[in-house]
Structure 1
């Protein structure tokens, strides 16, 4: 009796139709190779094909059409060979690989870590990753697509490689991980794509990839497959970074909005021009307003749609790497603003990603931000936390970024932030603290510091929340630094006053020292302070042109000598007269005025003084590094204080916010010896009046303000003077000298 010929592995008609429509949750169960009945059945979906053949090393095997573009072929034996599909359309034949012959690219361990919210290199698993596989018929190169969409009924990839028709690239569900996966042979770097998601409501939605590493240039919204070929040249910087504690060193930050520093520049243009500029001025770091992709330029980057993609407005992600690399090779660190607090509601991005509230919290009292019209992340969901924590790691590791400044931390910490009674719900203990957001911030900070030693996590936090920079082991949030918004607000409010009225507001300029060491602070004069009608620093200063420029120079000298690190937004280093607008370049023409060039020189010299004077930064975060010499000279609008560091010369700072000089003012000093004027913001070279203390100043054994040593000095108007001891003091806790002793 003759044995019956093998037949294709059977599949019911309804399943075939669902697969043909790209609406089946597991197309790999039908398409691709399947062993049965002593043969290998290969099914392929090729709509509109006239003929389909399966080509192996042993020959070609014709396929028969079954239904709606599904073709089936039988291959002899029970071993699945390497094969290709030869397909004829309207007399034109093409040969290609089959997406459905490959095993899952997301392994079980990866799926477990995603479920647990513990995959610290999530971008290597989800998103679009170019891969190659060996084969008998040659190496296969393509892109592994994977996306988390646990409530989807079906997911498919659409792109320019399939004419934005996704049925032939339907993805398979990887069970309770919520991940959908497909390896697409032939799809290479540069391909544009989106995920097309079938929700439980029966509607298809095209969504940008949450973990896309590249995007189209806005307003286009597709994701782009990216493969980095960048070779870094900052090995020395990275090795040194891992060994140092940046919080204890000098930090002066130049904050930059890339699109308006000088309009029209690419990442590579900026790599040369910005690096040269920041290096010339002596800043230790640049801080970039969010570079993650965002649909609306007017948001300045603070409404992010693609958290893993540097904005394509200025070039390829490798071009951004080049910018960071150039800054590092010049000895300049890079901080990037990071926005995990909220995201926009654009329907093609994260919002309602799989047809449900997935990344956002489903409760509108927790999931919507009333001020910004945005969604708030569901910080309590493991996969969402993982998405954000891994994103922080991604910027620090993949782009060698040296720090993240976390935006709008206060909005995350408080359940009632910007909400009226009845618009928020207390936590499980009846309080207003957002316990899930707190836990997320602690995890993000702890993970970042553990994985990438030598970086900085910086909080923009505007309230008196305790322990922002305390370690997580002590129940703190675990940040390394916090923006001192109180110092900024008090200082700028004080300086708006006419000098004659400042005596009545003296407490505003001294109050910062009450809490200066409660956290590890950065003193910011940021983009938020020179926009939306607030005016530039120049505009805030009272008086005529000369007085305004003098006021800016005095403010910056005060900022650089006050305990804490410094941050200055672009344009203020030359006292730009108009407030910032993101739609135009800085007013570089101001540098045609020698007085504005003088402000630049003042900043350049201030940074040089700062770097070479450990007293101005070594003990920023402890009272041991600061003493008042004169804090109550309200009628003179004058401050005097000491900055000091172990085994380093002491610095004495005198700041005069009055519009007149103080001749022969007796300055109390922390110890005897000789002092020299290391910096004077009123120097003629800066456009000042040239009132100063030339040569050396010798301390006299004359008691003043409780100090045993003092000297008469000239204090210039609207200016700051820094005196530095010629040698470290033997005893900086000087008392009253013996009146019988000779000096």
Structure 2
């Protein structure tokens, strides 16, 4: 493709003012227009700068801004003037603007040669001779808020033109949405941070400002200088930057990926996967404190092997989007499209995801569309007034978190967010998004007192625009990236969180089961002698367990801010604490719902989590903590090998109580069933549980008493041999070793409504799993 010069026409940035010039003289520009250009207040710099052919073909006027130059010359190389000259000298016109006329009929491919009083000499291409890099169709979609790949047209994108004077022209196209800005300049390390040299043009009424700058490539630092509607210049990071400068520095960086993915098999399988009916055991990680000082590449070596060895099916990464303050854990984002530069460049993050996929581990990213950071160089009041944030302070400010709330009623803002969700799934192969703070988005009165919120148009407390956004985001993500899952952190009784948008649901794949988490942790914190009085706290979750598709979250929020570690929540001496922890984990892994465990709990982290230090890895030198670690590995192994624990996870058919009411013994017992091919899990009950149509049932018995129960009669779904496939009291986990010698024999005969029974040994503070032998 040949290089397209910028014509002087309204379509490509000229105000369309008719101009004439004396024969051979430059096309004239009014002095006040030049002054506006130099002040950075000219919205159409391409109408003044760059090449402008005379209507009669007598020459091409070229203007450039070089305030401190001594001489400026245009080199037009292979297009010599009639006198054979290959260069044309420009003369200083006004305030650093230089002008001259190339004695040519058409605009050539030219370069600008500049000398300075100190002897420095630079030859550069001219950004103002190129057409816009955005198409009309892109601008139309941006205006309607329907550009699903927004990052491909906004931000900084390396761009190539072929057929130039010196070969292909490679540069970067910069484009930013700032609809109420008076002007926007581009400044960076390629122009000495002098934005006067690179004023940007406004593309019609789209609100987009654009400039292609030749010879700027991957790695360049830049910012936008925005003259806001308030008349104030501010330097801004690029909202769609793909790379950011490492904090505390705040510039954006150009990045062109060269990464070659190796996860084709994973991605093909993902597209066919149904996550609700698949195993999902998730290890939640705060990368900066898992091990301190690691890069993406080091994490790809260390984290991948660790998670694979433990058998987790997924990792969930606390926010990896660029954020300036590490103590925010990533939840106050400034660059939504940039992986955290503290760990390296974006291809390093691609490597981490790729390695996890090749090891069979999915990647879920914590994503924060509910609020954003207040830093004045980022999104806040981006063009001089609220743009990304809701202008109504009763909707646009989150007083609990001290952050701005997005304007969900604005098409372009919703587009920015749902395109960002798609971006992480498509560009970085993320397998899921855990959406932070959904409850705060759904309710207008969230964390607000009476008089601090205004109702919706129907008089209610529901944020209808946020609901629309969440439905739009989920529908778009699931349509574009099959097999990906979205997960809502939602703590209220909002109906239909995981119902499809076609049924007026929010469209999430899963919802965090905050009720189960609170109830079970409250129960586990009691001394065993008191637990019988709180038995219902462990059974209540089954009243609503199948109303949504749930994740059971023991997340970072439960082990910080004075709550103590998961181990320290448990009562008793150290042996009892560890036994309680192991019993709890065994109960959790068998309970309906997918599991999520925050890092450190897998080996009994002693201290409360803090983002400023890494985990207490030295605990793995102690057998009792290594025992917890070994238990988690075995939980994951048996879990993934037992379809009864996940194929019918979200339906009542996959679960039945054996005894929900044995409060005197602090015992809970239940059966988990898989879904047979072409049928429901209910068909596997009774004698059919071992049929060829379904995998064997699994029975869970959890004893939260501090004493064992000998000869405990357990009702079972079928007679036969039931193997003890997991016992959290096993000596290999540093338990007391009370067990059933590897299996039990169930005999036919009704017991408490079950067709078979067996007398078993139930170990103290332990969970035992039995699986029927085929």
Per the normalisation by structure 2, the TM-score is: 0.93
1:514 to 2:534 alignment: no
Give the match for residue 735 of structure 1.
Answer: none
Deviations 1:65-97 (A, max 9, x none): 110111111112331111111111113322110
1:705 to 2:738 alignment: no
Q: CA deviation at 1:160?
A: 1.2
Give the match for residue 585 of structure 2.
Answer: 556
Equivalent position SS for 1:8? coil
How do 1:490-501 and structure 2 match up within 5 A?
490-501=519-530
RMSD after superposition: 1.0
Equivalent position SS for 1:554? helix
Give the match for residue 87 of structure 2.
Answer: 60
Give the match for residue 734 of structure 1.
Answer: none
Between the aligned partners of 2:755 and 2:99, the Cα distance in structure 1 is 98
Give the match for residue 4 of structure 2.
Answer: none
1:627 to 2:645 alignment: no
Give the match for residue 39 of structure 1.
Answer: 59
1:673 to 2:673 alignment: no
Give the match for residue 739 of structure 2.
Answer: 692
1:88 to 2:115 alignment: yes
1:27 to 2:45 alignment: yes
How do 1:550-629 and structure 2 match up within 5 A?
550-629=579-658
User: Is the deviation greater in 37-46 or in 356-365?
Assistant: 37-46
Between the aligned partners of 1:465 and 1:244, the Cα distance in structure 2 is 27
Q: Residues 23 and 167 of structure 1 are in contact (CA less than 8 Å); yes or no, is this contact kept in structure 2?
A: no
Deviations 1:460-484 (A, max 9, x none): 1011100000000000000001110
Give the match for residue 12 of structure 2.
Answer: none
Deviations 1:385-430 (A, max 9, x none): 1100100001001000100000000000000000011000110111
1:8 to 2:26 alignment: yes
Q: Residues 244 and 340 of structure 2 are in contact (CA less than 8 Å); yes or no, is this contact kept in structure 1?
A: yes
1:270 to 2:290 alignment: no
Q: Residues 231 and 384 of structure 2 are in contact (CA less than 8 Å); yes or no, is this contact kept in structure 1?
A: no
Equivalent position SS for 1:724? strand
Between the aligned partners of 2:154 and 2:540, the Cα distance in structure 1 is 49
Give the match for residue 737 of structure 1.
Answer: none
Q: Residues 725 and 742 of structure 2 are in contact (CA less than 8 Å); yes or no, is this contact kept in structure 1?
A: no
Give the match for residue 125 of structure 2.
Answer: 97
Give the match for residue 119 of structure 1.
Answer: 147
Q: CA deviation at 1:232?
A: 0.6
1:474 to 2:521 alignment: no
Give the match for residue 70 of structure 2.
Answer: 50
Q: Residues 371 and 418 of structure 1 are in contact (CA less than 8 Å); yes or no, is this contact kept in structure 2?
A: yes
How do 1:247-326 and structure 2 match up within 5 A?
247-326=276-355
Give the match for residue 736 of structure 1.
Answer: none
Q: CA deviation at 1:21?
A: 2.8
Q: CA deviation at 1:131?
A: 1.1
Equivalent position SS for 1:142? strand
Equivalent position SS for 1:242? helix
Q: Residues 22 and 169 of structure 1 are in contact (CA less than 8 Å); yes or no, is this contact kept in structure 2?
A: no
Q: Residues 151 and 355 of structure 1 are in contact (CA less than 8 Å); yes or no, is this contact kept in structure 2?
A: yes
Runs of 4+ in 1 over 2 A off after TM superposition: 3-6, 20-23
User: Is the deviation greater in 552-561 or in 83-92?
Assistant: 83-92
Give the match for residue 355 of structure 1.
Answer: 384
Q: CA deviation at 1:137?
A: 3.3
Between the aligned partners of 2:22 and 2:220, the Cα distance in structure 1 is 47
Q: CA deviation at 1:622?
A: 0.2
Which stretches in structure 2 are left out of the alignment for 5+ residues?
A: 1-20, 81-85, 677-693
Between the aligned partners of 2:104 and 2:327, the Cα distance in structure 1 is 62
1:18 to 2:36 alignment: yes
Give the match for residue 239 of structure 1.
Answer: 268
Deviations 1:29-74 (A, max 9, x none): 0000111243211111111111111111221111111101111111
Q: CA deviation at 1:107?
A: 1.1
Between the aligned partners of 1:535 and 1:631, the Cα distance in structure 2 is 30
How do 1:347-386 and structure 2 match up within 5 A?
347-386=376-415
Equivalent position SS for 1:275? helix
Give the match for residue 663 of structure 1.
Answer: 710
Q: Residues 83 and 137 of structure 1 are in contact (CA less than 8 Å); yes or no, is this contact kept in structure 2?
A: no
Per the normalisation by structure 1, the TM-score is: 0.97
Between the aligned partners of 1:4 and 1:267, the Cα distance in structure 2 is 62
Q: CA deviation at 1:4?
A: 6.7
Give the match for residue 723 of structure 1.
Answer: 770
Give the match for residue 255 of structure 2.
Answer: 226
Equivalent position SS for 1:147? strand
1:70 to 2:97 alignment: yes
Between the aligned partners of 2:565 and 2:360, the Cα distance in structure 1 is 29
Between the aligned partners of 2:743 and 2:770, the Cα distance in structure 1 is 10
Q: Residues 723 and 772 of structure 2 are in contact (CA less than 8 Å); yes or no, is this contact kept in structure 1?
A: yes
